[in-house]
Amino acid sequence: MKYLLTLLAVGILFTGCKNENKENEDTEAKKENTSEVAQNETAADTASIDIQPISHATAVINWGDATFYLDPVGGAEAFEGMEKPDFILITDIHGDHMSAETLQAMDLEGVHVIVPQAVKEQLPEELNSVLRTLDNGATTKVMDFYIEAIPMYNLPEDPNAFHTKGRGNGYVVERNGQRLYIAGDTEDIPEMRNMEDIDIALVPMNLPYTMTVEDAADGVLAFAPKKVIPFHFRGKDGFADVEKFKTLVNEGNQDIEVEMLEWYPDRAE
C-alpha cells in the first residue's frame, strides 16, 4: 500500500512539473510572438512618408512601398520618372486640382481615383470606371490605407464662396497608425481644428482662395500636428509669407516641426 501511494505521489509530481514546463514554454512563445508583432507594427508605423512637390497643390507621395498622387495637373509629363500611383486623390473641381487631360494621359489600369461627387460630374464619362466617389465624412479603404474625406470650405459660409461646404474634400490618409492630413482649399474651419493625432499636415494659405498666414497658424496650433508643411500658397497678389507662418507656429508650439518644400520651382527668390 505504501509502495502504491509512493508511485502515485511521484506520478502527480512528474505531471505537475511537465505541465509547469509546458506553461512556461507557452508563456515564452507568447512573449516572442508579442514581441515579433510589436516589432512589425513599429516597423510599419515608422514607414517614411516622402512628399515630392510637383507644383502648388500637386504632389507625388511615396509612403513606404506605396505611391499616390495628389491633385495631378500639368500633363503626364509632369510625372515623368515617378512611380506609377497605386491611387490618386483629387480635392476639388478647380483647374489647379483637377485636370481631365492629365488623367487621360496616364496609365490608370488598376489605379483607384478618389474624388468628390462634384469632380466626378465634371470629368469625362470614360473615366468613371476608375473613379471612386467619397462624400465629406465618408471613409474608404485602398490597399491597407484608410482614407477619410474631410470638409474644406471658406468662412463665412456663402453660396458664392470659392469653396462651398460639401463640394470638395480634404483627406486624412492613415496606415498602421500614421496619419497624413491634406487640408485642401480651406480656411480655419472647426473640422480642421478638431483633427487628432496627425503626423503630417499639408495646409494652404493664400488669399482670397483659402486663408491668411495668421489664420493658418492659429488652426495648426489648435490641432498640433507633429509636422506641418505649407502648400498652395500662391494667391492673387503673389506668394504668402510662409516664413512668417513658420515663426508664428513655432512661437506658439516649439514641438511642431514646420517643413518647407519647393512647391514653385520657378519662384523668384
**Which is higher by pLDDT, 47 or 246?**
246
Per-residue model confidence (pLDDT) at position 5: 41
Of 244, 152, 161, 159, which Cα lies nearest the Cα of 208?
A: 161
Domain 48-258 has CATH 3.40.30.10: no
How open is the CA angle 60-192-223, to the nearest 5 degrees?
A: 95
| CA 125 – CA 3 distance, rounded (Å) | 91
Q: Where are the domains of the chain?
A: 1-46, 48-258
Q: What tens digit of pLDDT does each residue of 248-266 get?
A: 999 999 999 999 999 998 8
Q: What tens digit of pLDDT does each residue of 187-230 get?
A: 999 999 999 999 999 999 998 999 999 999 999 999 999 999 99
pLDDT band at 45 (very low <50, low <70, confident <90, very high): low
**Which is higher by pLDDT, 28 or 193?**
193
pTM score, two decimals?
A: 0.82
Per-residue model confidence (pLDDT) at position 268: 57
